[in-house]
Amino acid sequence: MDEKAHVIVGTEVFNPAFGGMVEELRKQISRPRIRAGQNLNDPEMGFDSGYFSSDNLRYCDENGMTVYLPEGKGEGGSKQRKSERIGSRDCKLELVGKSRQLTCPGGQVMETTEAKKYGGHYYYRFYPEKERCRSCSLMDKCYKHIRGGKRFSVKKEYFDTLYIREQMNARLSSQKGKLRMADRSCIIEHVFGEIKDIFKFRRFLHRSLKKVELIWNLICIAYNFRKMARLACG
């Protein structure tokens, strides 16, 4: 995407989306080139929160990539709350040797060492002592709509990538990270907005990578024609 003219300069459809896209970018910048004082062999890439996953975080970390990959659209890339009830996302998570510790907002520390499988995924589960909870000022909010015992569930993969997530949150919360994601919104997001709202194109009706790539290229060409016509008239 050209930052000044706001025209699309390159398109590609990948499968799998994240890994394929990153590998293609790395191929294109495999030779040392300098543009606007930046070494393109070490690019900083910003992604939509839709690409967020433990596997993608681990992939970026193992390959030493500088990326901005938010989990959600809240402060520091955090997920926006869907419930007022206190959950595991409101708690402090720590790795202490082989033990996984969770500290609730009321200060109660719970720990476990074993993840168990529930519904196809492995979770660490933490059970607070209800007697200690009774004296907590947050009990009504924590136990909202809960009749039985309270528990906090954290996916095993979340704990496995806890350090990487903390690094990513710190990067996104920094001034540089905020500016980087703001640039991405200005340069990239409005393009998808125009394609969805003006072109009314919201989904692919054909299957196979080849057909989808052809249709997407046609959409991008149409977008560029419209943009160049507006630039010429302006």
Sequence ranges of the domains in the chain: 17-76+165-233, 88-160
- Alpha-carbon distance of 115 to 121, in angstroms, equals 9
Q: Is the pLDDT of residue 100 over 80?
A: yes
pLDDT band at 74 (very low <50, low <70, confident <90, very high): low
pLDDT, tens digit (0-9, with 9 covering 90-100), for 185-234: 778 888 888 899 988 999 999 889 899 999 999 999 999 998 888 878 76
pLDDT, tens digit (0-9, with 9 covering 90-100), for 79-96: 766 678 899 989 999 999
Q: What is the pLDDT of residue 36?
A: 47
Place of tokens 């890339």: 77
Find the range with the poorest average confidence among 33-37, 132-136, 149-153, 189-193. 33-37
Which residues are within 8 A (CB) of 62 and not within 5 positions of it... i.e. 6 or more apart? none
Backbone angles phi, psi at 4, to 5 degrees: -90, -50
Most confident of 42-46, 48-52, 212-216: 212-216
CA distances from 86 to 53, 104, 141, 150, 151 (A): 23, 9, 6, 10, 11
Element of type H or E holding 65 = none
pLDDT band at 5 (very low <50, low <70, confident <90, very high): confident
